[in-house]
Amino acid sequence: DTLTGPNAYARASETAAYVRSKLPEALQKPKVAIVCGSGLGGLVDTIEAEPKVELAYSTIPNFPQSTVQGHAGNFVFGLIGPQKIPVALLVGRAHFYEGHTMDLVTFATRVCKLLGIGTMIVTNAAGGLNENYEVGDIVCLNDHLNLAGLVGIHPLRGPNIDEFGVRFPPLSDAYDLDMRRRTHKAWKKLGLDQQKRRLHEGVYAFVGGPSYETRAECRMLRILGADVVGMSTVPEIIVARHAGIRVLAFSLVTNKAVLDTGLRGNDDTIQAMSKTELDEHLNKGKANHQEVLEAGREAAKDMQGLVKQILSDLHED
């Protein structure tokens, strides 16, 4: 009774069949799946009221149950934008830090494949490591560092499931160039205030979490070439690419990772500081979940606008 190995295909098929049985004709063939990260589920409110099907993760056979506050779990099917494009939204995701296995973290991705989805747009909230990034900026991912994967915690570990893809999938082209080009075009078209929010391209470092990075870890990740750091996305992207799904991914910078070394207890200037001054220093840039959710709320609208513009342009071509 496991989702691992050969069973994964049977289980995903069972789940896909269940989901399909709940969908009316007009929603049977979703083209694009959109994974909504922390605070980015607002896209749901922008799809057509009818036809629309919302399936709570708790009611879907084999689906992982998400346990984090602010990450509701709903698989939503509907039509988006003036062209009424059929989409599937994953509002809330299973994270590795919750204790789920990599099979469960990536299960929904495989169900998407079996539902016939060809393109997946993955969003997340992430910490900014690149000094040029501000809170609220959007990063279109062009590569990743799978730190967990490099040491064997990898969603494709185990017998290969040939029905989905090959044993040794390449990832050098994981972040689809054409989709990234479309993204930058769409961003220009939207003409958002560049003072308020910028669009970058960057590298995402996947860490297990749930604790945020230490200062030394932030510096290490930066040296390794990461621009943002987060606790999701990479497993889903690997499994999507394994199955031949085209991928586009965005990080919303919800906090700036602290790169400076912080206070050293043997420094005379620290000995001379008042308690208030010390507290102020110590709290500077400290990541917290509340801040992450708030930055998400503010920037979410622009991110939604961007995703909708990309979808709309995609549909036109």
Q: Which residue is nearest to ligand ADE (CB)?
A: 127
Q: Which amino acid is at 299?
A: A
68 binds ligand ADE (CB under 6 A): no
In DSSP notation, 20-81 reads HHTS-GGGSS--EEEEE-TT-GGGGGGB-SSS-EEEEGGGSTTPPPP-STT---EEEEEEET
Per annotation, catalytic residue among 98, 146, 174, 213: 98
Q: Which of 15, 66, 130, 255 binds ligand ADE (CB under 6 A)?
A: 255
Say what angle helices 6-21 and 107-114 make with each other, to 10 degrees: 60
Query: Does 258 help bind ligand ADE (rule: CB under 6 A)?
Result: no
Residue 232 is among the residues annotated as catalytic for this protein: yes
Active site residue 98: yes
Nearer to ligand ADE, 139 or 243 (CB): 139
Residue 38 a catalytic site member:
yes
The tokens describing 146, both together, are: 């799978």
User: E strands along 94-168, which residues?
Assistant: 119-128, 138-146
| Smallest gap from residue 99 Cβ to ligand ADE (A) | 17
Contact residue for ligand ADE among 39, 41, 127, 149 (CB under 6 A): 127
Task: Supply the minimum distance, in Å, between the C-beta of residue 37 and ligand ADE.
Answer: 9
Please say whether the beta carbons of 41 and 72 come within 8 A.
yes
- Residue 103 as a binder of ligand ADE (CB under 6 A): the answer is no
Q: Is 154 a catalytic residue?
A: no
- Beta carbons within 10 angstroms of residue 138's beta carbon: 21
The minimum distance between CB 21 and ligand ADE, in angstroms, equals: 36
Handedness of CA 161, 166, 172, 175 (dihedral sign): negative
140 with 250: CB under 8 angstroms? yes
Contact with ligand ADE (CB under 6 A) among 233, 254, 304, 309: 254
Tokens for 311? 């979808």
Q: Does 206 bind ligand ADE (CB under 6 A)?
A: no
Reply yes or no: is the peptide bond before residue 24 cis, omega within 30 of 0. Answer: no
Instruction: For the segment 13-52, give every residue that binds ligand ADE (CB under 6 A).
Output: none
Stretch of 1-9, 48-56, 93-101, 251-259 contacting ligand ADE, by CB under 6 A: 251-259
CB of 211 to ligand ADE, least distance (A): 9
- Per the annotation, the verdict on 303 as an active-site residue is no
* Among 92, 88, 95, 198, CA closest to 139: 198
The one among 35, 121, 125, 156 contacting ligand ADE by CB under 6 A = 125
> Which chain residues interact with ligand ADE by CB under 6 A?
125-127, 212-213, 229-231, 254-255, 257, 287, 292
Active site residues: 38, 71, 95, 97-98, 125, 231-232, 255, 289
